[in-house]
Amino acid sequence: MFVPKENNDNFNVDEILNSHNPYKYVINETLKDVFERRLVELKMTKTDVRKILNIGLSTLNGLLNGTQKLVDFSNLIKIATFLQLPKEQIILLYINSLEKNQPVEIVTADKVKFIKENFDLAALKQVGFIKSVTDFEEIEKRIIAAFGLKSIFNYQNPSDDVAFSAGIIQPKNDKNRKIWIKAAKDAFKEIDNPYPYNRKALLDFFPEIRWHSTNVDLGLINIIRTLYKFGITVFYQPGFPSLHLRGATLNINHKPCIVLTDYKGFYPTLWFALLHELHHVIFDWEDIKFNRYHISDEEEQRLPVVERENAANHFAREYLFSMEKLKKIRPHLNNTDFVRQFAKVNEVHPSFIYVFHAKDVGEDDRMGWPRATRHNPKDEFNKLIKLIENPWENRISTKEHIKSIKHILYI
C-alpha cells in the first residue's frame, strides 16, 4: 500500500512561476490527467487515495478539476508525494487545470486605455450599467456582453456625420452621445425592417396618429407596428442623465429609423418626440440620408439647426394639441371632468393639456408642473416603458432584447 512521506517544505509560488520552466513537457497536461494515470498504474481508486492522503473528496476534486477557490498548499504537497513528482511540477499541472476550467482574460493596459477613451465610466455607473469605475475586468465583460462583441477592441463609435450640424461644435457629452447612438444603430440593424420606406403611406396615415395617444397601454405600440410596415422603424432606448436628447432619426439601409427616449418622464413628451422626428422624416429625409443621422438635442445652438428644430417642435405641438385649443381650455384646468371631455373630443390623452400648459406658462403658474405631474399616467406609462426598454442597469445583449420584443412591435 502507498504511504505518503512527510514533507514540510514550503512552496514559494512566485519563485516557481518566475523561474525557468524545466517541465515544459507538462504544458498540455493537467493535474487531473496525471493523477488519473497514476491511479491506473497503481490499480487504486480515488476514494482509496483520498483516505490515505486525508483529503476531503470535494477538496480533492476541486484541486484536480481546477475549481477550488481557496487552496491549502499542504494538500498539493500530499498529491506531489503520491504522484512522486517535484512540487514545482505539481504547481504547473495545477495551473493547467485552472486555465482549462477557469480561463482568465487579463485586462491589459491597452484595454484600460481603450475603455477610458471611448466610454464615460462615471455616466455608465450613474445609469447602473457598471457598478465600479475601476473594476475594468467587469467593465470589459459588461460592454462585450451588451454589444455582442468578441473583443473590447471590436467596439466602434458611430460616424460623426450628423444631419444639419457639419461638426462645427463638439457636444459636451460626446462619449455618451456616441454610445447612445451606437446602441440604437445596433438595434435597428438587428431588427432589419424588410419593408421599403413609403412616404405616401405615412402621409395618408398621419391624421390617425393622434387619437392613439388616448390608449396609454397599446397606442404607441400600435403606431410602431403600423409605421414599421411603412418602412419606418421606431425604437425606444433609455437615455443618460447627462444628455438632453429627446430622440434621433437615423438612416439604416436607406430607411428612416427613429429612436425615442424618456427625456422628461411625462407620457406626452414621448409622443411629442415621435411627432418631432416624423417631421424630420417627412421634410428633412434627404439631408438625413446624406448625413446618416439627426439628433434632437436641446443643447444645440447653431442657427440653421435651431430653425429646423423649432419647425419640428411647432409641427409636433400644433398637431398634437394646438396653442389655440389650449387657450380655450386654460380657464377650466381645475375642472378635471371638463378637461377630460375636451381632450376626448380633440383625440388626445388629458395629460397633454396639462403638460403643454405647464411648459407654456413656466413659472407664471406655480401649480403648472405639479398639476401636470398629478395627471401624468405614471403607472401605465412605466408599464409601457418596462415592456419595450432594455434598461442600462440590467442590460441584455441587443440580439436578445430585439428577440424578446420583436413579436410585440415588429410584426
Question: Among 177-181, 212-216, 356-360, 378-382, whose mean pLDDT is lowest?
Answer: 177-181
CA distance 388 to 191: 13
**Mean pLDDT value of segment 169-191:** 81
Question: Among 55-59, 76-80, 102-106, 179-183, whose mean pLDDT is lowest?
Answer: 102-106
Bridge partner residues of 234 (DSSP): 258
pLDDT tens, 6-27?
Answer: 444 454 444 434 444 444 444 5
Pairing of strands 233-236, 255-260: parallel
Asked if 321 contacts 352 with a C-beta cutoff of 8 angstroms, the reply is yes
Three cell numbers at 87?
Answer: 512540487
pLDDT number for residue 287:
82
pLDDT number for residue 2:
41
**Mean pLDDT value of segment 338-351:** 96
Residue 348: closest CA among 314, 313, 318: 318
pLDDT number for residue 294:
63
Compute CA distances 231 → 89, 253, 307, whole Å. Answer: 64, 10, 27
Asked if 276 contacts 269 with a C-beta cutoff of 8 angstroms, the reply is no
Q: Whole-number mean pLDDT of the chain?
A: 84
pLDDT band, residue 67 (cuts 50/70/90): confident
pLDDT tens, 147-170?
Answer: 999 999 999 887 755 543 333 334
pLDDT band, residue 399 (cuts 50/70/90): very high
Domains and CATH numbers, the chain: 13-101 (1.10.260), 109-154 (no CATH), 174-320+377-409 (no CATH)
**In the predicted model, is pLDDT for residue 296 greater than 80?**
no
Compute CA distances 390 → 184, 282, 299, 326, whole Å. Answer: 11, 28, 25, 35
Q: Which of 42-56, 73-87, 204-218, 292-306 has the highest mean pLDDT?
A: 204-218
pLDDT tens, 254-273?
Answer: 999 999 988 778 999 999 99
Three cell numbers at 191?
Answer: 431588427
**The residue type at 45:** T
Q: Which helix (H) or strand (E) holds 280?
A: helix 267-291
Question: Among 67-71, 342-346, 355-359, whose mean pLDDT is lowest?
Answer: 67-71
**In the predicted model, is pLDDT for residue 342 greater than 70?**
yes
pLDDT number for residue 116:
92
**In the predicted model, is pLDDT for residue 200 greater than 80?**
yes
Q: For residue 257, what is the DSSP state?
A: E
Classify residue 70 by burial, with Cβ atoms within 10 Å: 0-12, 13-18, 19+. exposed
CA distance 260 to 382: 15
